[in-house]
Amino acid sequence: MCDARRLIEAFKARSAAPVRAKIDTLLALELVRDPCIQPFLVGVLLDRGEPTAVRIYVLKRLRNANPAPTCRPAIAGAILRVLSDPSNTELRIQAALALTVFVDIEGVVGALGSLALERDQPLDLRYSAFTSMQRAGPVSECVASLRQLLEDEALGRSARSVLTSWRLD
């Protein structure tokens, strides 16, 4: 059995293990290059039974992993699913931040813009969505969301500042 498969099996065998033990196994996976790792990580991310700390670790790993172009839409889709689950604000904030590197994937900028506009959501979450969305640059979907945010009490000044820096005010 290859190292990746062995470590994946070790992780699965530790379903009731402390968070630190699970993260240690995930850390060991970082040293292995194998195409089966990213789909496994996506599965861990989507597993609501995993502790928040483990899922956040996986989010950060996926954000920094520089995945193959063919894997990027599936990873972005999984992160969008986490972002849309209202049960864990901390995880959603991290998901919004992780989407920064996926703003070129269809649907990501729109989802971030919609979330930034939701005034009933926690400000930290809205701001995380806003900062990730602006990384898309002055594309039409981003500009439209920023213009809608101009009237927002919390994010209006920031939206104006971004539009001004893009010379679109």
pLDDT at 74: 95
Q: Which residues of 17-49 are buried (b: 16+ CB within 10 A; e: fewer)?
A: beeeebbebbeebeeeeeeebbebbbebbbeee
pLDDT at 116: 98
CATH classification code of 35-165: 1.25.10
pLDDT in tens, the chain (169 residues): 578 899 999 889 888 889 999 999 999 998 888 888 999 999 999 999 999 999 999 999 999 888 888 889 999 999 999 999 999 999 999 999 999 999 999 999 999 999 999 999 999 999 999 999 999 999 999 999 999 999 999 999 999 999 999 999 7
pLDDT at 3: 87
Please tell me the pTM assigned to this model: 0.93
pLDDT at 169: 75
pLDDT at 68: 81
User: How is residue 110 written in tokens?
Assistant: 């729109």
Measure the CA–CA gap between 135 and 138, rounded to whole angstroms.
9
Q: Where are the domains of the chain?
A: 35-165
Q: Give the position of tokens 């502790």.
A: 51
Q: What angle do CA 168, 99, 109 make, to 5 degrees?
A: 40
